[in-house]
């Protein structure tokens, strides 16, 4: 998974009355970094001229593991006040081999919003910058970890991730209520929740939910609760998501007789586990069923999905 954010800098070329921004790129990888190699990222201006180059460092923790390029330690004097579509590339440089390989090319759209205080001119100079991430809202995922063997899903929301309750339906029955309750957490965020001149605030969060009583295959698990096995129950499933007690999302997917996902674009998310293997799964369309995300660009995914790399064969929900 790749995400691009804008780090707001409270000065521009030494001028404290004007705000600027620098990019922050995060990504995960499949497999280990070759000995003697390192990742770096380059970002260009909307006109295509070189702008910044950033080394990428590994960030490991109990909740997430990823590489990050840029951030609080990146020189503030590199900041810009420009907005628009910024091309970027994630690269792997191997000094021992003398190579500098491009792994990913993308483009991120950066917008800005005026600050809260002062005259209109002062507020405009102290604008806050953020990436336009509307392309992600109609894109969802269903997947599982081979080691854990239970169904998971992930989807984006604009705003707070509190009070998200997913339910899985099969043949009209809510099977997620048969055993252990599903658990959800926010695993990625882009944008800035503290920008008050844009409503709703321009923050997009990736919510990941696990269903520990909905398993892929029967491996003899005994959890003391009723279990549902996808492999022995092929067909169409639907995940309905309550957000703040309102029906907000619907994700549909199909399971084949072997327990694998029968229809969908191969998943581009969750590529790392303890063994360094890709999680089996698919990208699925997400139907947005309410207005809690606020106004959003329903066509952004056509050119902006995965930063200008929309997956072949993907279409949004009606």
Q: For the segment 172-209, what is each residue's pLDDT rounded down to a tens digit? A: 999 987 767 889 999 889 999 999 999 999 999 999 99
Side-chain-facing half-sphere of 170: CA atoms under 13 Å = 16
Three-class SS state of 56? strand
Nearest to 192 by CA among 200, 182, 202: 202
Contacts of 141 (CB under 8 A, 6+ apart): 153, 154, 155, 267, 269, 270, 281, 282, 283, 284
What is the pLDDT confidence band of residue 275, given thresholds at 50, 70 and 90?
very low
Contacts of 173 (CB under 8 A, 6+ apart): none
| Token pair for 188 | 């990625």
Q: Are residues 197 and 114 in the same domain?
A: no
Q: Are residues 71 and 14 in the same domain?
A: yes
Angle at 54 between CA 49 and CA 57, to 5 degrees: 155
pLDDT digits over 68-93, tens only? 999 999 999 999 999 999 999 999 99
Total structural domains in the chain?
2
pTM for this entry: 0.90
Residue range(s) defining the domain that contains residue 78: 2-131
Average pLDDT of span 106-129 = 96
- Give the end of a domain, one of 76, 107, 131: 131
Q: Are residues 112 and 144 in the same domain?
A: no
Q: 19 with 11: CB under 8 angstroms? A: yes
Check pLDDT > 50 for residue 28: yes
Tell me phi and psi for residue 226, to 5 degrees.
Answer: -70, 135
What is the pLDDT confidence band of residue 65, given thresholds at 50, 70 and 90?
confident
Three-class SS state of 286? strand
Residue of higher predicted confidence among 308 and 144: 308
pLDDT reported for residue 61: 67
Q: Are residues 114 and 171 in the same domain?
A: no
Could you tell me if residue 318 is inside a domain? no
pLDDT reported for residue 256: 87
Looking up residue 103, the CATH number of its domain turns out to be 2.60.40
Average pLDDT of span 25-47 = 91
Could you tell me if residue 283 is inside a domain? yes
Q: Are residues 264 and 217 in the same domain?
A: yes
Residue of higher predicted confidence among 257 and 297: 297
pLDDT digits over 14-24, tens only? 999 999 999 99
Q: Are residues 126 and 185 in the same domain?
A: no
Average pLDDT of span 51-61 = 91
């Amino acid at each position: 998974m790749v995400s691009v954010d804008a780090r707001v800098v409270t000065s521009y070329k030494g001028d404290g009355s004007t705000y600027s921004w620098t990019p922050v790129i995060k990504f995960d990888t499949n497999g280990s970094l070759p000995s003697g190699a390192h990742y770096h990222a380059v970002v260009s201006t909307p006109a295509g001229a070189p702008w910044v180059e950033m080394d990428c460092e590994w960030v490991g923790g109990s909740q997430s593991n990823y590489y990050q390029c840029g951030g609080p330690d990146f020189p503030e004097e590199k900041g810009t006040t420009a907005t628009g579509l910024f091309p970027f590339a994630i690269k792997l440089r191997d000094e021992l081999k003398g190579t500098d390989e491009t792994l990913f090319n993308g483009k991120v759209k950066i917008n800005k919003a005026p600050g809260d205080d002062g005259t209109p001119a002062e507020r405009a100079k102290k604008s806050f910058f953020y990436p336009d991430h509307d392309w992600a809202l109609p894109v969802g995922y269903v997947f599982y970890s081979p080691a854990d063997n239970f169904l998971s899903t992930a989807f984006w929301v604009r705003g707070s991730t509190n009070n998200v309750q997913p339910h899985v339906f099969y043949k009209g029955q809510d099977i997620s209520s048969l055993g252990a309750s599903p658990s959800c957490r926010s695993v990625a965020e882009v944008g800035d929740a503290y920008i008050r001149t844009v409503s709703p605030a321009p923050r997009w969060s990736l919510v990941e939910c696990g269903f520990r009583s909905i398993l892929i295959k029967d491996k003899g698990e005994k959890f003391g609760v009723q279990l549902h096995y996808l492999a022995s129950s092929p067909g169409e499933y639907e995940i309905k998501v309550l957000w703040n007690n309102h029906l907000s999302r619907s994700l549909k997917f199909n399971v084949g007789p072997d327990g694998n996902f029968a229809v969908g674009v191969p998943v581009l998310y969750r590529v790392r586990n303890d063994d360094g293997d890709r999680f089996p799964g698919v990208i699925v369309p997400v139907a947005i069923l309410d207005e809690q995300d606020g106004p959003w660009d329903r066509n952004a995914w056509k050119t902006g999905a995965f930063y200008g790399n929309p997956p072949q064969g993907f279409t949004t929900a009606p």
